[in-house]
Amino acid sequence: MKICVHGAGAWGTALAVNAAGRHEVTLWARDAAQAEAIANVRENRRYLPGLALPPSLVVRAGDLREAQAGADLVIVATPMAALRQQLIALRGTRVPVAWLCKGVEPALGGDAASFGMLAHEIWAQVAPTLKAGVLSGPSFAQEVAEGRPTALVAASPHAEVRDALVDAFHGPALRVYANDDIVGVEVGGAVKNVLAIATGLCDGLALGLNARAALITRGLAEMTRFGLALGARAGTFMG
């Protein structure tokens, strides 16, 4: 399989490194100087210092269409704020596309009265003909790059997108599970970070293990109710 990863941050680099041993992978960076530095030293010193890139991983900048020519799968590894422009640029792409970003898009135009969107809502608005989805889950980029055990979920209403993500990244250490509840997966991916921060505050205040357990339990219940209000399935949040 030929994979093009858009974005040479920590998460994009980690997945590119993880897949490079099994597939033909190109890591595209927006900044030409950054791409040249990574390619020359075979290390992303800014985001994953000390991790050597496999020799087979191609790092490049320049024309994005050229970089992804012939790709079987395109991965968007930019921050949420850049997803809209990335999806617009990908209009007309016929192969599966998946994004890695978690969270909510900043309100358009800085208007606090307008609600930010989840990634699938941006997709529906600007590039609805793309066969697309999300790769998400509780994970740290460094550990994925090092090949430590990790579980992720590939979510999309399109079976071919889920299958492509499983084929690309599922392996002995990185397990990828398929799910068609993209709303639930995106809400879980975004809100679990809020819950993680709250849990850290709980620990920092030395409130005890009972308080931490109550916070996580009630947090999961609230996360589930929020997801259900947006159209998700309850079972997704237990995963």
Tell me which residues are annotated as active site: 192
* φ, ψ of residue 172 in degrees (nearest 5): -60, -35
Q: Which two tokens stand for residue 138?
A: 């509780």
Locus of tokens 């399109």: 158
Give the C-alpha separation, 72 to 68, whole Å.
9
Going from the C-alpha of 214 to that of each of 54, 205, 218, 222, the distances in angstroms are 44, 15, 6, 12
Neighbours of 196 (CB within 10 A): 13
Q: Which two tokens stand for residue 8?
A: 């040479």
Q: Which two tokens stand for residue 156?
A: 């999309």
Give the C-alpha separation, 104 to 212, whole Å.
26
150-155: strand order across its sheet: 58-60, 24-28, 2-6, 73-76, 97-99, 132-136, 150-155, 174-179
E strands present in 18-166 = 24-28, 58-60, 73-76, 97-99, 132-136, 150-155
Give, as one character, the DSSP assignment of residue 171: S
